Amino acid sequence: MTPSKLCIIRVLGWSCVFFAIELGTVDTIADDSVSQERTSALENRIQIHPQLMSGAAPVGEKAFAELAELGVKVVVSVDGQRPEIELARKHGLRYIHIPIGYDGVHDDACKAAAALTKQIKDPMYVHCHHGKHRGPAMAAVIAQSAGWLDRKQAIELLKRAGTGSQYAGLWRDVDGFQPQSISAELPKLVEVAEISTLASHMVDTSLQYEVMLDSMKTNDWKVSDVRLLQEALRESHRVCNEEMRPWMHDSVRLVHAMESQVERKDFQELRESMARLKQACNQCHERYRN
């Protein structure tokens, strides 16, 4: 790799690898940086600009300590879950919460991105849950708003992050980004944004579903985990709209049946139930989330 393609930049006392893009291609990070990424507590972390990174949600002391060590001062969450503001403050970090869906980066979020670039001059870390879809999309909008990436480079960022092609709205809004007008009224940046009750319950459902996926890998199933997933789905069913209600109801019944499957240790039936649950979730997501 030539020096023209990859520059090591020291900014504000922190060493970082600049996310260099040339002629529409994303260069590979140097071998020593790859090794560092493998031991990182921050999954799917990408250095986009000396003042901007994206990745998965920081979890626990180690992740927030790593952010502080990297020189990050502001953590931007686009996830529906309440940010860990107390843990962030403990490590000298400020949280800004701009929740978005998988359906795209809406206009209010684009205005918030513009507010970020105008008001925040410190290094930022943008995250969703996994760090592959919503987070990189928001980071791409922020980078375009700041003039750090052009449209072609922003699309390359999504490709590198592994943003799913099924989330057409995210790709659309990054590709179709338009800077805010000078007269645009920009929103106030807040630590914890108000989110809909359904969105909050769906976050809980998603997190518990991942616990079940881990159980499936090891056949270490627990009735308590099944009940937590069932409860999250029940709460979602309670507040969802009429069209979603039959799908939610079917999912609740399906997960309820999994309790006895766990007790019988019927691993094959559990795998089939998880496959049916995934199919039911995808059916709903195609209409309301993607």
Are the folds of 8-175 and 197-288 the same? no
Burial category of 159 from C-beta neighbours within 10 Å (exposed 0-12, middle 13-18, buried 19 and up): middle
Residue 3 DSSP code: T
Please state the domain extents for the chain. Answer: 8-175, 197-288
- The DSSP string of 88-115 is HHHTT-EEEE---BTTB--HHHHHHHHH
Assign 285 to helix, strand or coil. Answer: helix
Domain 197-288: CATH architecture, name and number where available: Up-down Bundle (1.20)
Pairing verdict, β 21-22 and 25-26: antiparallel
Residue 179 DSSP code: P
Cβ neighbours for 235, distance < 8 A, ≥ 6 positions apart: 201, 204
**Angle at alpha carbon of residue 189, lines to 9 and 106, rounded to 5°:** 90
The token pair that represents 208 in the structure block: 């518990």
pTM of the model: 0.65
The CATH code belonging to domain 8-175 is 3.90.190.10
Per residue in 222-256, pLDDT (tens digit) is 988 898 888 788 878 877 888 888 888 899 999 99
Contact at 8 Å (CB) between 105 and 84? no
* Residue 289: predicted pLDDT: 64
Cβ neighbours for 254, distance < 8 A, ≥ 6 positions apart: 273, 276, 277, 280
Compute CA 220 distance to the chain's CA centroid, rounded to the nearest angstrom.
27
What's the Rg (C-alpha) of the chain?
Answer: 20
* Residue 143: predicted pLDDT: 98
* Residue 290: predicted pLDDT: 57
Low-confidence ranges of the chain (pLDDT < 50): 1-38
The two counts, helices (H) then strands (E), for the chain are: 11, 9
